[in-house]
Structure 1
Amino acid sequence: MKGNPFVRYAAALIGGIVLYVYHPDWILVPQVALLLGLGMLLWGVRQTRGKLVKPIQIASGLGGLLLLMALGWGISYQHTARNQSDNLVHLTDTLRAYEGVIAAQPEERAKTFRVELAVRRGKWTSQAGEKWQPLSGRVIVYLDKAGQSMPHYGEVWLVTGSPRPIDPPLNPGEFDYKQYLSYRNIYHQQYLRPYERTVLSVDPPSRITGIATRVNRWADRVFTHQVSNRAEYGIVNAMILGVRDDLDTELYRAYAAAGAVHVLSVSGLHVGILFLVLTFLLSFLIKRPRGKLLMAFLQLLILWFYALVTGFSPPVLRSAAMFTLLIVANASGRQQQFINSLAASAFFILCFDPYALFSAGFQLSYLAVGGIGAWQSPLYQSITFRYKLADKIWELTAVALVAQLITFPLGVFYFHQFPTYFLLANPIVIVMSNILLPLAMTTLAFSWVPYLNDLLGWLLEKTAWLLNYAVMQTGALPGAAWDGLWISQLAMVLIYVVIFCGAALLITRNRAYLWATSLAALFVAGLTIWDDFEQANQQRLAVHFLPHRTAVSLTHGHQSTILTDLEATDTRSFDFYLKNTFGQWGVSELTTIRASQTKSVADTIPNHLACYQTRAYTLWVWRGKTVLLVNQLGGASHWKLPAVVDYLIIRRNALRTWNQLDGRVVARHIIFDDSNKTPLTDKLLADANELGIACYSVRQMGAYVADME
């Protein structure tokens, strides 16, 4: 740590950022840190003034770190858009229209264009009347594609209507899209029909970003012309331009199962690959006069051209900045530590964008690069091979081992899976990526040269085909992905304690690290056993949020039965809204009953569940509790129901007025799922409030979960 000062500086800055994000109201803490740090720093300077040999001043060092912590808090406050008085979040009146400019490169989805608008001004009714007033904030707009061309960066739109706040996660374990966007200072979204927006002009917020988007579009046209096969074009487009719309679902799943999904998003990995390839290709310049400077110039030129081609994708920008500092430090000729240079790059990036700290890409990139830089060489040198090919394979394997070891706890925490055959897939992916990325850049550079561009395009397509084939074969192996893994933040931190203390033990042979590793491992084992015990004894009813659909589950131990009208082919909706819930609950056996069935389903339900189903309703009896799902309340048919139903679930707009339940159903708990129309549910909830009826809506309140233990 003594020779790596920026490690301490970055840690102090990160401490201030984390303090603000989790406790923004603790304003007294950074104020005290600022005053105390300034006092300690000045006292240390006064103590050493006039001395020829200046002793190490611990007080001055601590004072400086306290100042950096206060700086981290202040930067985070300054970069939080909701702290601006004219931000959308503070608007209390209904917004009738607003003007905004497209502030990022639009994305094409299946049925919509996803556009990020930076709001400039808005119109709403206030005491001063209806007029345009200054307004700030960012809105994610989904524009219906029907008959529309792709929007362009810098277009100024006039939008009618009002954006709505982004919903929090409505199911247990669901991805927190609201928090993810809040780290980008986006708090609102809106769905638009074409007639609800008008393009006023073109006024790009940044000329450099405007150039980057045009270069990105040009690169897309080059790849479209040179790579004719859709699967190979999809991979090239994803790896170089960061666009995954053309990827086949099965191909994406194969990459995920093989542990190679990271290559499908432009990130620090790609910048790192280009850096290593360029270092290898340009290494002959080192021995020449001013060769280091020329090598650094060429590396920076190509790395930043790649960032330009990606449209200045934020992950690539962060990684390009990281490697820029590493290249400059190496070219300076001064004695420098790799970890210190890496920490310096993180420090300056976080000064510019403190919320980058909470990006999975930022965390994984720095962990992987730091781990490889610190541990790959000792691991590689621990085993020697006589033959050059075997030695090269072992070198690549050592990279894959270190990268997987250092990132797997974070990967499991975010993505809930572990690739079983990563040792088989990653060396292949690394080799093929080392070929494909420079080849793609060369294809772009010589796209204007006849015949040569066709040859390069053919080589690029065949390389992409070979990469796809290797990944598909690996992903098709039995048990390729260990799925459904869940760990808490505490467990993830403890696993990292085991990894880092274990590595320190191997390097230093210090017995203290042995005790720390053993203690952390015992805590991890205890947490795992306790979680498994709780899951084995859980009993719960859940009415899940599923847009415009029904999903009701009964869970006992590691088994669950779900009744839903979600189509079996709609795996995307299941994965987004429901998969994480059952994964978090440790469900390993899931039985599905289709709500569209109108006859007996005795052949499809577990033995512990009694079920009676008609067109009008479905009645479940489970562990002494009755659950009634009502499809329709019309007609005079006689219902055979218990005197009191424990849980009444209203679906498909069955209830129009509360009088319809009189003399028919008495229930202890009433729940509306999202198959009901929102205006109707809102009206019934308002009427229920006046009548004193307790009820619950998953659209407004999130999934209804009742523990029955």
Structure 2
Amino acid sequence: MKGNPFVRYVGALIAGIVLYGQLPDWPQLPLMALFVGVCLLGWGFYQQVNERVKPIQTASGMGGLLILLALGWGITYQHTASNESTNIIHLTDTLTAYEGVVAAQPEERAKTFRVELAIRRGNWRDQWQPLSGRVIVYLDKVNGASIRQAMPRYGEVWLVSGAPRPIDPPLNPGEFDYKRYLSYRNIYHQQYLRTFERAILGLEPPSQITKLATIVNRWADSVFTHQVGSRSEYGIVNAMILGVRDDLDTELYRAYSAAGAVHILSVSGLHVGILFAVLTYLLSFLIKRPRGKLMMAFLQLTILWFYALVTGFSPPVLRSAAMFSLLIVANAMGRQQQLANTLGASAFFILCFDPYAVFSAGFQLSYLAVGGISGWQSPLYQSITFRYTWANRLWELTAVALVAQLITFPLGVFYFHQFPTYFLLANPLVIVLSEILLPLAMAMLAFSWVPYLNDVLGWLLHKVAWILNYAVTQTGQLPGAAWDGLWLSQTAMGLIYAVIFAGAALILTRNRAYLWVTCVAALLLAGVTIWGDYQQAHQQRLAVHFLPHRTAVSLTAGHRSQLVTDLDRTDTRSFDFYLKNTFGQWGVSALTIVNTSRKETDRHSLGNIPGYYQAREYGLWVWQGKTLLLVNKLTGRNRWRLPAAVDYLIIRRNALQDWNQLTGRVVAEHIIFDDSNKTPLTDRLLSEAKVRNIACYSVRQMGAYVADLR
């Protein structure tokens, strides 16, 4: 640690960033840290004034770290757009229109274009005033227009009518927090637009460098479109090189996920690392020549940053390019390589420019993987030797995959809730093919102007992409390819990392102290796991989930759950986004899903749920002494023969138009509106309920309704 000062510096900076994230309204803490740090630093210098040999001072070191902690808090405050008085988040008046510029490269979706607008001014109270902030706009595609005509351009200035709305927080337990994810990018609002609701005023790119990157990215896309034929191979090349996954087939993406190779589909530090390793190998012959190191460094930096330009300056690629640039410069200058210190330095400077990168899964996984590989791969690789060169090469790649998977799997399970069973089978092959595909794609772009050669390179690129897709698809189809539905709390993840790091330190140093740390962390992890499983085994929950324009009601007992929904069975995307994580968080291992559609086959399937009766106007569910009434239709002509009182009344499909419709029909202890009701109708009924003192709940406004029935 003494030889890696930047590791300490970045640790203190990260502590300040996290402190702001947890306590943004407590400026007293960083001010106190700054005051104490300056005092300790000053006291340390005062004690060394008359010393010829300056000893290491613990007080001075602690003072410097406290100053960096305060710096981290201050940088994060400065980079938080909501602290600006002109930000749209502080606007209390009704915004009728605003002017903004397209501040990032637009993304194509199935029915819309996703555009990031930077607001410059807004209109409220019938006058234009300065306004700032960023908005995610989903613009409808123009029917009949080609992609080139309809695709918005970076730097376009738009006049938009209407007002964006705040991004919703997660409305289901365990659901991905899209609001927090965008807040780290200083985006707090979104808006859905039809083409006539915006007008293009001109073209004023905020950054000429970003403009160049978008032009190069589009040019590279056109080259790949022309040279790589089939959609599957074009999709994988586009994803790996340009970071665009719109052309990937859903089944192909699932195969990559099941094989543990989904990380290859997002431009990230892995791609930059592979490109760096290949360039180092190919250009190693220059080292022995005069000024060969400088020439090698120049070529490496040129190609790495050209790749960053091709990706449209993707943030993960920028971070990794900066990290490897420091490595290249240090090597060219003949400086002693201390990878841990270089990693710390790159992370330090990156976080000074973008402090919220520390909360990014890509940032965390990249630095963990590179740090783990640099520290643990060599001892593991040297522990076993083989007679044949090819076997040693295969073991080297396997060691890389083992170390990378070991150090990142807790974080991967925490974020993505799955573990690839056959990662040892897929990852070495994926790495080898990526080492061929990435340089080949760069060469094809570089020589795209050379006749015949570009066709040969395009044919080779297509074949390599086909082999990669075939290998991953076959691996993903193996039985039990993905261990799905995993869930880790932050406490459990921290304890797993304590076991991993303490265990690795024990193996490398043979220090018994690490044995005790490993044992204590393992015992605590076992206790946390057993307690969590005990709570899940004894849980009894009713949940009315938020599902856009749909119904989803579940009853959970222990590790078993029954879900009644009108979601189409083919709509797996909605289930995965809105509901899957909820049942994963609750530890549900046996989920029975029954559809409430009017089809006869679906009505017969309702027999899978005991105590559930389905009619045209309602569904009655009796479960462990509780009665749930799901109302589909309320008319004066039909009178139900039902219990006079129910525990839970769930209103569906705009069944309730007026509160008087319930008079003399049914009395409920809890009334819940699901999201199959129209929002204006629900809002009106909720406002009337306040006047009538009727207690009710709307999942659209308040999130999923979850009741503990124990």
The match for 2:58 is 58
Counterparts of 2:308 and 2:318, CA distance in 1? 6
The match for 1:339 is 340
How do 1:271-420 residues align onto structure 2 when only pairs under 5 Å count? 271-420=272-421
The match for 1:143 is 139
Counterparts of 1:285 and 1:22, CA distance in 2? 50
What is the CA distance between 1:73 and its match in structure 2?
Answer: 0.3
The match for 2:212 is 211
Check the 8 A contact 1:98/1:160 in 2, yes or no.
yes
Counterparts of 2:351 and 2:464, CA distance in 1? 37
Which letter maps to 2:337? Q
Check the 8 A contact 1:599/1:613 in 2, yes or no.
no
What is the CA distance between 1:604 and its match in structure 2?
Answer: 3.6
Check the 8 A contact 1:632/1:654 in 2, yes or no.
yes
Check the 8 A contact 2:594/2:608 in 1, yes or no.
no
Counterparts of 2:274 and 2:564, CA distance in 1? 47
* Cα deviation 1:646-691 (Å, max 9, x = unaligned): 0000000000000000011110000000000000000000000000
Give the secondary-structure state (helix, strand or coil) at the position aligned to 2:611: strand
* Cα deviation 1:606-653 (Å, max 9, x = unaligned): 777311111000000001000000000014222121121000000000
Counterparts of 2:37 and 2:85, CA distance in 1? 30
Check the 8 A contact 1:600/1:612 in 2, yes or no.
no
Check the 8 A contact 1:541/1:707 in 2, yes or no.
yes
The match for 1:461 is 462
* Cα deviation 1:221-245 (Å, max 9, x = unaligned): 0000000100000000000000000
1:133 maps onto 2:129 in alignment: yes
Counterparts of 2:222 and 2:195, CA distance in 1? 26
What is the CA distance between 1:45 and its match in structure 2?
Answer: 1.1
The match for 1:23 is 23
What is the CA distance between 1:556 and its match in structure 2?
Answer: 1.0
Counterparts of 1:467 and 1:531, CA distance in 2? 40
Give the secondary-structure state (helix, strand or coil) at the position aligned to 1:141: strand
Check the 8 A contact 1:601/1:611 in 2, yes or no.
no
Counterparts of 1:140 and 1:602, CA distance in 2? 41
1:85 maps onto 2:81 in alignment: no
1:655 maps onto 2:656 in alignment: yes
Residues 602 and 610 (structure 1), Cα distance of their counterparts in 2 relative to 1, 3 Å cut: farther
Give the secondary-structure state (helix, strand or coil) at the position aligned to 2:127: strand
Counterparts of 1:330 and 1:359, CA distance in 2? 29
Check the 8 A contact 1:6/1:340 in 2, yes or no.
yes
The match for 1:202 is 203
* Cα deviation 1:370-397 (Å, max 9, x = unaligned): 1111111110000000101111100000
Which letter maps to 1:265? S
* Cα deviation 1:71-122 (Å, max 9, x = unaligned): 0000000000000000000000000000000000000001100000000000
The match for 2:533 is 532
The match for 1:41 is 41
Counterparts of 2:106 and 2:601, CA distance in 1? 49
Counterparts of 1:25 and 1:227, CA distance in 2? 53
What is the CA distance between 1:251 and its match in structure 2?
Answer: 0.3
What is the CA distance between 1:599 and its match in structure 2?
Answer: 6.5
Counterparts of 1:345 and 1:96, CA distance in 2? 44
Segments of 5+ residues of structure 2 without an aligned counterpart are none
Give the secondary-structure state (helix, strand or coil) at the position aligned to 1:85: coil
What is the CA distance between 1:598 and its match in structure 2?
Answer: 6.9
The match for 1:11 is 11
Counterparts of 1:622 and 1:473, CA distance in 2? 44
Give the secondary-structure state (helix, strand or coil) at the position aligned to 1:95: coil
Segments of 5+ residues of structure 1 without an aligned counterpart are none
Residue-pair matches, total: 705
Let me know the Cα RMSD of the aligned residues.
1.1
Which letter maps to 2:335? R
What is the CA distance between 1:475 and its match in structure 2?
Answer: 0.2
Which letter maps to 1:687? E
The match for 1:596 is 597
* Cα deviation 1:305-341 (Å, max 9, x = unaligned): 0000000011111111111111111222122311001
Residues 327 and 687 (structure 1), Cα distance of their counterparts in 2 relative to 1, 3 Å cut: same
What is the CA distance between 1:597 and its match in structure 2?
Answer: 3.6
* Cα deviation 1:499-521 (Å, max 9, x = unaligned): 00000000111111000001101
Counterparts of 2:273 and 2:127, CA distance in 1? 51
Counterparts of 2:61 and 2:197, CA distance in 1? 58
Counterparts of 1:642 and 1:79, CA distance in 2? 58
Counterparts of 2:450 and 2:192, CA distance in 1? 44
What is the CA distance between 1:213 and its match in structure 2?
Answer: 0.1
Counterparts of 1:483 and 1:290, CA distance in 2? 53
Counterparts of 1:426 and 1:474, CA distance in 2? 10
Give the secondary-structure state (helix, strand or coil) at the position aligned to 2:187: coil
* Cα deviation 1:422-476 (Å, max 9, x = unaligned): 0000000000000000000001011111111000000000000000000000000
Counterparts of 2:161 and 2:639, CA distance in 1? 50
What is the CA distance between 1:601 and its match in structure 2?
Answer: 7.3
Check the 8 A contact 2:606/2:614 in 1, yes or no.
no
The match for 1:257 is 258
* Cα deviation 1:586-607 (Å, max 9, x = unaligned): 1111111111147697864577
Which letter maps to 1:569? T
1:105 maps onto 2:101 in alignment: no
Give the secondary-structure state (helix, strand or coil) at the position aligned to 1:592: strand
Give the secondary-structure state (helix, strand or coil) at the position aligned to 1:621: strand
How do 1:602-617 residues align onto structure 2 when only pairs under 5 Å count? 604=605, 609-617=610-618
Comparing 552-561 with 590-599, which one deviates more in the overlay?
Answer: 590-599
Counterparts of 2:304 and 2:599, CA distance in 1? 61
* Cα deviation 1:235-294 (Å, max 9, x = unaligned): 000000000000000000000000000000000010000000001001111122211111
Counterparts of 2:286 and 2:41, CA distance in 1? 45
Give the secondary-structure state (helix, strand or coil) at the position aligned to 1:159: strand
Which letter maps to 1:28? Q
Give the secondary-structure state (helix, strand or coil) at the position aligned to 1:620: strand
Which letter maps to 1:135? L
Which letter maps to 1:315? P
1:233 maps onto 2:234 in alignment: yes
Counterparts of 1:599 and 1:430, CA distance in 2? 51
The match for 1:123 is 123
Residues 607 and 254 (structure 1), Cα distance of their counterparts in 2 relative to 1, 3 Å cut: closer
Counterparts of 1:675 and 1:583, CA distance in 2? 24
Residues 635 and 69 (structure 1), Cα distance of their counterparts in 2 relative to 1, 3 Å cut: same
Counterparts of 2:385 and 2:601, CA distance in 1? 67
Counterparts of 2:220 and 2:602, CA distance in 1? 55
The match for 2:702 is 701
Residues 228 and 606 (structure 1), Cα distance of their counterparts in 2 relative to 1, 3 Å cut: same
Runs of 4+ in structure 1 deviating by more than 6 angstroms, as ranges, are 598-602
Counterparts of 1:146 and 1:114, CA distance in 2? 14
Give the secondary-structure state (helix, strand or coil) at the position aligned to 1:98: strand
1:32 maps onto 2:28 in alignment: no
Comparing 683-692 with 326-335, which one deviates more in the overlay?
Answer: 326-335
Which letter maps to 2:93? D
Counterparts of 1:559 and 1:601, CA distance in 2? 21
Counterparts of 2:643 and 2:626, CA distance in 1? 11
Check the 8 A contact 2:627/2:648 in 1, yes or no.
yes
The match for 1:220 is 221
- Normalising by the residue count of structure 1, what TM-score does the alignment of the two structures yield? 0.98
